Amino acid sequence: MSTYSNEHKEYLKEIKKNKILVLFFQVFIVISFIIIWEVTSRLDLINSFLTSSPTKVFNTLISLIKAHNLFNHIYITTKEVLISFGLASILGFIIASLFWFNKTIAKIFDPYLTVLNSLPKVALGPLIIIWIGANTNSIIFMALMISLFITIINIYSGFTNVDNYYITLLKTLNATRIQIFTKLIVPSNKKNIINCLKVNISMSLIGVIMGELLVSKEGLGYLIMYGSQVFNINLVITAVVLLAILSYIMYSIISYIEKRMVKN
C-alpha cells in the first residue's frame, strides 16, 4: 500500500463516517421499532391480541420450529421464488433478445405485452388453479405471470436504448448483428439487466405468496392464510416478518452479484 496524503486520509475518513452513520440509523430504526412495539403492548397501549408483540412473535417462531416444521415452509417458499425468478429472468432475457433481433416481432407483440402485464393476476387466480391444478405449478405460473412481462419490457427497452452511434461504429468494422448483440448490446446493458433482476426477485416473491395464499398447503404464504383463517395474528405476523427477512437476504445476494459484476 502506498502512503496517502493527509487530505486523502481525511477524504477516506469522511466516507467511512458516512457509511457508519447510515448503518447506525438502519439498525437503530429496526431496534427502536421492536422496543416500542414490545413496550406499548406490555403497557396495554395497543391491543396485543390484534397487533401481536415481539415476544409473542419470538415464541411463535420457536414453537413453529419445534412442532410445525418451519424450515420446510421457508424452504418451499424459497424454492418456488427461485424457480420463478430463474424462469422469468431467463425467458425474459431470451424473449427480449428475440425482439431486439427482429423488430417486427417486437412491434407485433408490443400491445399484447402491455395488456398481459396490466391484467390483474389475483383475479385470474381461480382460473389458473382450474387450468393447471392446485399444486406448485400453479404458484410458479402465477409468479411468472407477474414477473415475466415486466422483465421482458424492461430488458428490451434497455436494449433499444443503446446509443445508435456505437452501433454505427461496429458496422464500420463490419460487425454482424450477432456481434453487435454480444459485443455491445449485452455488455452496455449489464447494469440495466441487474436492475431488472432486482425488480424480478421482489416480483417473484409477491407472485409466489399470492399463489400460496390461493392454493398451497405449505410455505410462508400458506402460514399467513392459515393464520388469518384461525385468527392467529401471531402466526400471520411471524410469517410476514420471515418474508421480510427472506426478501432482504435475496436482495442482498443480488446486490453482491452487482458489486462483483459492474465495475464501471
Partner 1 sequence: MSTNYPILKIKNLKKNYHDLDGEVKAIDNITLDINSKEWISIVGPSGCGKTSLLSILANLEKPSNGNIIYQNDDIKVGYMLQKDALFPWKTIYENCLIGLEINHSLNDNNKKRVLDLLNTYGLSDFINKYPSSLSGGMRQRVALIRTLATNPDILLLDEPFSALDYQTRLILADDIYSIIKKEGKTVILVTHDLAEAISLSDRVVVLSKRPAVIKNIYDIKLTNKSTPSQNRKVKEFYDYYDKIWKDLDVHL
- Taking the complex as a whole, the smallest distance from the CB of residue 162 to partner 1 amounts, in Å, to 11
Q: In the complex, what is the shortest distance from the CB of residue 14 to partner 1, in angstroms, rounded to a whole number? A: 23
Binding residues for partner 1 restricted to 182-241, rule: CB under 8 A: 183-184, 187-188, 190
Helices 70-101 and 233-261: angle between axes, nearest 10 degrees: 40
18 burial level (CB within 10 Å; 0-12, 13-18, 19+): exposed
Grid coordinates standing for 236? 400471520
Least Å from the CB of residue 171 to partner 1: 6
Candidates 8, 13, 68, 171; binder of partner 1 (CB under 8 A) is: 171
| CA–CA gap between residue 62 and residue 260 (Å, rounded) | 37
Non-local CB neighbours of 256 within 8 Å, separated by 6+ positions: none
Q: How far is the CB of 127 from partner 1 (least distance, A)?
A: 43
Residue 261 CA: distances (Å) to CA of 82, 254, 256: 20, 10, 9
Q: Is 102 in the site for partner 1 (CB under 8 A)?
A: no
Segment contacting partner 1 by CB under 8 A, of 72-80, 115-123, 178-186, 221-229 = 178-186
CA–CA dist 56, 64 (Å, integer) = 12
181 near partner 1, rule: CB under 8 A: no
Work out which of 67, 127, 173, 230 binds partner 1, going by CB under 8 A.
173
Scanning 136-144, 146-154, 167-175, 248-256 for contacts with partner 1 by CB under 8 A, the matching segment is 167-175
Q: 5 vs 264, which CB is nearer to partner 1?
A: 264
259 binds partner 1 (CB under 8 A): no
Which lies closer to partner 1 via its Cβ, residue 133 or residue 187? 187
Determine if 175 is a binding residue for partner 1 (CB under 8 A). Answer: yes
Nearer to partner 1, 68 or 177 (CB): 177
| Alpha-helix runs per DSSP H in 102-231 | 103-118, 121-132, 136-160, 164-172, 177-180, 186-188, 190-215, 220-229
Q: How far apart are CA 56 and CA 75, in angstroms?
A: 23
**104 binds partner 1, rule: CB under 8 A:** no
Measure the CA–CA gap between 232 and 50, rounded to whole angstroms.
9
Q: Which three cell numbers stand for residue 165?
A: 452511434
Name the one range near partner 1 by CB under 8 A: 41-49, 71-79, 121-129, 174-182.
174-182
Least Å distance between CB 181 and partner 1? 12
User: Cα separation of 137 and 211, whole Å?
Assistant: 10
Q: Which is nearer to partner 1, 186 or 246 (CB)?
A: 186
Residue type, 105: I
* Binding region for partner 1 (CB under 8 A): 163, 165-166, 168-175, 179, 183-184, 187-188, 190, 264
